[in-house]
Structure 1
Amino acid sequence: MGLVKGYDTSSDSDSDFVISKSIPEKKNYDLHKDAACEPSQQKILKRKSCFTKSELKRRRKTRKGDGPWGSWSESDDETSEANEIQIEQQDILTDTFVEDKQDLEVEETVEVSNFYGESEKDYQGRGYLHTPNDVDVDLNEERISLRCYLPKKVIRNYPGHLGGTTALKFLPKTGHLMLSGGNDHVIKIWDFYHDHKCLRDFQGHTRPIKALRFTDDCRSFLSSSFDRCVKNWDTETGKVKTKLRLKSTPADVESRPTNPHEFIVGLTNSEILHYDDRVSEKQGLVQTYDHHLSSILALKYFPDGSKFISSSEDKTVRIWENQINVPIKQISDTAQHSMPFLNIHPSYNYFCAQSMDNRIYSFSLKPKYKRHPKKVFKGHSSAGYGISLSFSGDGRYICSGDSKSRLFTWDWNTSRLLSSIKIPGSKPITQVDWHPQETSKVICSGTAGKIYVCD
């Protein structure tokens, strides 16, 4: 007798164990009977390799079972495929509707401009672009002849933009107006003197403003936004002269100094597009520069308009001849970081780049375009933010914002940090611009939204 009931431990058996007869004789477990069946019946026991659609559907039903994850009813299996197809069709229709709706929003966007001043024209029929004569400062000088001084404190502020100011520029040459754009999708032009109020707003973008640039004659300005649109606005009337719908987000836009009809746009898909609004074909596209390997961060034209500089997230800075898709110089290094902002020194001998390693580097504006080893400005915190920089009118000082709500000023000749002003708001200061005719006035703003004037 075996040690375990149901098993035989006698040595006479050839196998290690034998199934006891106490197990119920079922067809699935009767191995001897299956082995003794006829060859014709053995073929039936083999697994069928091919099934029809109806058999497959029946097998799926048996596999689902009656558990908590089983089908609700037999009709569910028959209609599941139809329901899946219907759901897919609904998703496709929904996606198509959303895309069409977005396109319609872009097409149906109406540009609106509101004037908030007392009168658009003076008694001689001149708009606010005309340089005022009732100001103590002579704003018609080509270049400032007085020595500039360090700003010491915040003297006033403007309401700015709700949610943060993303672009801020003085009117070139005179500086009696300043242009700003923000996360509220609105562009505003402010009176720097007199009442210090907003004179006109420009509404037409559906996403936050990315960059603003005046043309050389200041009669119009360019705006780029996260809605993938670039628009050319009339500065006085608020009408849109040119509107471009691009395939990628325009990270920066720059107008050619010698020709207000030409401008370049840097996209996040690593391309730089060159436009001329006098050309009717391809919306005025005359050239594409595509040697960068990542999204464009900043663009800057040479003062004579013959070349331009570009920086990218591929951590390189390239210099291009106008309308030639081959860079004449690539500035790169293994230790170089990406540079989100570029600006040219008033002497036109250098250009500076804000770097993500908390430094400002200087480069020669003449061939071979090498980096100046001694003109490195540090002490501020700019990593992680696209912080701008600016120069005083005489070129003696360079100033920059900071991620800790401070305004830094350095001496250009010695690279020594001279002052640090704490700006209210305790948020990063990303936009800075020095007045082109005043000796010590600087405007700055950032994610706090308000625009501050330091003197």
Structure 2
Amino acid sequence: MSLVQGYSSDEDDGPLSPTTDAFGLSSLPASKKRYLFNIADRTRQAANKQFFQDPLQQSSLITRPTDTQMNVNISYDDMMLPVQGPENPFGDRNRFMNQNALAGHVEEQAMTEHAFRQQHLTHAILGYSANPSVDPNAPAILGSLDKAQEHGFQTIGSVKVPKNTKNELKRKRKAKGDLEIVDGEGAYEGPWATWQGDEPTAEVEEAMDEPEPESEEEPEQEFQPRKAKPKRGAPGLESSVFHGKSMHDYQGRTYMHPPLSEAPQLQHEPGSQECFIPKVCIHTWTGHTQGVSVLRTFPNTGHLLLSGSMDTKIKLWDIYTHGNCLRTFHGHMKAVKDVTFSNDGRRFLSCGYDRQMKLWDTETGQCIKRFSNGKIPYVVRFHPDEDKQNIFLAGMSDKKIIQYDMNSGEITQEYDQHLGPVNTITFVDENRRFVTTSDDKTIRAWDFDIPSSSSTSPSRTCTRCPLSHCTRALGGPLTSTEKYFAAQSLDNQILVYSTDNFRQARNKRFAGHSVAGYACQVGFSPDGKWISSGDGEGNVVFWEWKTGRIKSRLRAHNKVVIAHEWLPHETSKVVTGSWDGLIKLWD
């Protein structure tokens, strides 16, 4: 094909083109040159014919990914055809003439509150309003067109009252009257003057003068407001719920009888066994919906557990048999602060933030008596003597300790030397004295039934706590020797005092726990070997009584361990109660 680049078909019989010299043809004879040019011309015509004609008569372009040449010329009409595919249902061609959206005619308009108000009042009063649509085909006025033309298409705020109408209204208005005349004809009425035509007719005046006939209907009953239903646990509405299947067993015994068959050690003397530090949780009681505030075991045997909670409920739990809840006492309307058993355990006292103190029957669940002086009781204690089981003491929020006689229900004595609310009461010295703690940062010792602190009565005041911190919990006295009692101080230490002279034992100090802000209970093991306390981080800390060293720190709860009790006949069992609402038994 390179031989014909300088060839022209018009030069077959004429002279050669000068470009032939570039291909080396100038030296050939003329006959051979003519022969070669004829062959090249035929080849070019065949190539042009093959390029412009499609032997397969194809109407569309068919190619493969590997093809590098296009063998078919597509016509211009075919290239300008619209894109084939499904019809767009949201296209403009399918809409009506008055639609600018698929759902209809949509316009974006903004109007001030004043303009809307004017148009709304105009339509409501005059019967027409301007059409807010910008559609040129829409009418300009909505409503009565005649009314609009009559008022010149004005809004209600632009329409003016004709002068004739104004003058007619002014003529109907009566005179204001004379300021000097108070009553009668021509009296001053000012802006309260009436209009002509507004006077009541004679019929109306007669109807107004006639007395009203007495109705034969029965008089309406006076509305009596519905009294709110008293809450459960209110004074006089105390109740209890027994959770077992049967109150008595096959021998006719209730849960008050100790389970000697399951726990024969209950017959032994408390503290006769050697005690060890618990390590593992063996049972969990879940029944309180809020934090537990106090725990008390059944006297002597300890086979029952009494718990008071911030959910206003008091629950009695079984420890040795099935470990379930035996009875729930509903008697307080606010959180329970303290509970305490009598010596025989058949009765117990409870107090709460509802300013009530109540005496309960442990077996039947009946509320026997109620006591209150209008103040919040923080602690209640029975007198430990057998002949004084009708007497109990209560530490109040008004800085006093009140002594009640349950037989008469009256206050027989008051102790009022504290300068702050009383937190705890502990009997010492063979129950002849009792020790109290208060928010006034002092511990005071009292002779029972002698209220004053004069020189003739040996009422004593213990030394202040170190760092002037408040003492909110007492432990003891220590059951083995009865010579000491422990005081939980809010400066994160437990101090020990003598029950003889009420002096602090300087060689006994237990620290290493964090109780600042919490009244965590202090406890002694039955044999007096260990002293224990909960802390604000959910731990129970155990110290050795002789050395004062921490022997164990048991992670018990997620919140503060506010109360715990050693079981009197066990070697290493402790019950803990926390503000997380759980009660756990550890061994």
Which band: TM-score by shorter chain?
A: 0.7 to 0.9
Aligned to 2:578: 446
Q: What code does the residue aligned with 2:461 have?
A: Q
Q: Deviations over 1:346-405 (max 9, x none)?
A: 121111111100001100011x11110011111110010111011111010011101001
Q: Whole-Å Cα distance in 2 between the matches of residues 130 and 104 of structure 1?
A: 33
- Aligned partner (choices 546, 550, 559) of residue 413 of structure 1: 546
Instruction: Tell me the distance in 2 between the aligned counterparts of 1:195 and 1:445.
Output: 19
Task: Tell me how far 1:246 sits from its aligned partner.
Answer: 2.4
Would you say the 8 A contact 1:265–1:273 is kept in 2?
yes
2:549 matched to 1:423? no
Q: Which residue of 2 aligns with 1:363?
A: 497
| Aligned: 1:178 with 2:281 | no
What residue is the counterpart of 2:31 in the other structure? none
Work out the CA distance in 2 between the residues paired with 1:420 and 1:303: 32
Aligned pair partner of 1:310 in 436, 446, 455 = 436
User: 383, 395, 398: which is aligned to 1:269?
Assistant: 398
SS in 1 for 2:267: coil
Quick one: structure 1 residues 108 and 404, their matched pair in 2 at CA, closer, same or farther if it must change by over 3 Å?
closer
Cα distance in 1 for partners of 2:322, 2:562 equals 25
Say whether the 8 Å CA contact 1:131–1:140 is kept in structure 2.
no
- Which blocks of at least 5 consecutive residues in structure 1 are unaligned? 1-96
In structure 2, distance between residues paired with 1:140 and 1:212: 25
Q: Distance in 1 between matches of 2:277 and 2:232?
A: 47
**Paired residue for 2:289, among 162, 178, 182?**
162
- Match in the other structure for 2:488: 354
Q: What is the CA distance between 1:103 and its match in structure 2?
A: 10
Deviations 1:74-123 (A, max 9, x none): xxxxxxxxxxxxxxxxxxxxxxx9xx989999865411111112321233
TM-score by length of 2: 0.58
The 3-state SS of whatever aligns with 1:123 is coil
Residue 332 to residue 400, structure 1, CA distance change in 2 (3 Å):
same
Show CA shifts across 1:43-96 (max 9, x none): xxxxxxxxxxxxxxxxxxxxxxxxxxxxxxxxxxxxxxxxxxxxxxxxxxxxxx
Taking a change above 3 Å as real, the CA distance of residues 233 and 324 of structure 1, as seen in their structure-2 partners, is: same
Tell me how far apart the structure 2 counterparts of residues 236 and 311 of structure 1 sit (CA, whole Å): 32
Q: How does 1:47-446 map to 2 (within 5 A)?
A: 109-258=236-385, 259-278=388-407, 280=408, 283-302=409-428, 304-327=430-453, 328-333=459-464, 335-344=467-476, 345-346=478-479, 347-366=481-500, 368-424=501-557, 426-446=558-578
Task: Structure 2 unaligned segments of length 5 or more: list them.
Answer: 1-224, 454-458
- Conserved 8 A contact 1:341-1:388: yes
Distance (Å, rounded) in 2 between the aligned partners of 1:105 and 1:181: 16
What is the identity, as a one-letter code, of the residue corresponding to 1:236? E
CA contact (8 A) 2:232 2:330 kept: no
Query: Which structure is higher in RCO with an 8 Å CA cutoff and minimum separation 6?
Result: 1
Report the equivalent of 2:192.
none
Could you tell me the TM-score, scaled by structure 1's length?
Answer: 0.74
Bigger CA drift: 152-161 or 391-400? 152-161
CA contact (8 A) 1:171 1:218 kept: yes
* SS class of match (1:335): helix
Cα deviation, residue 174, structure 1: 0.7
Spell out, residue by residue over 1:245-282, the C-alpha distance to the aligned partner (whole angstroms, 9 max, x if none).
2211001111111122110000011011001112x2xx
Counterpart contact for 1:273–1:287, Cα < 8 Å: yes
Match of 1:38 in 2: none
**In the aligned structure 1, how far is the partner of 2:389 from the partner of 2:429?**
13
Distance 1:284 1:221, change over 3 A: same
C-alpha distance in 2, partners of 1:212/1:303?
A: 23
Decide whether the 8 Å contact of 1:353 with 1:360 is kept in 2: yes
Shift in Å, 1:155:
2.0
SS in 2 for 1:138: helix
Indicate conservation of the 8 Å contact 1:160/1:180, yes or no.
no
Letter in 2 for 1:271: K
Contact map agreement 2:356 2:377 (CA 8 A) in 1: yes
- In structure 2, what is the Cα distance between the partners aligned to 1:244 and 1:419? 42
CA–CA distance in structure 1, aligned partners of residues 495 and 278 of structure 2: 22
Q: What CA distance in whole angstroms lies between the structure 1 residues aligned with 2:394 and 2:364?
A: 24
Alignment deviations for residues 178-203 of structure 1 (CA, whole Å, 9 cap, x no partner)? 00010111100000012110001110
Counterpart-to-counterpart distance in 2, 1:105 and 1:119? 25
Q: Secondary structure at the match of 1:340?
A: strand
Report how many aligned residue pairs link the two structures. Answer: 352
The sequence identity of aligned pairs, in percent, is: 36
- 2-structure distance, mates of 1:431, 1:359: 16
Structure 1 distance, partners of 2:534, 2:571, is 19
Higher-Rg member (1/2): 2
Cα distance change, pair 374–437 in 1 and its aligned pair in 2 (3 A): same
Structure with the bigger percentage of strand: 1
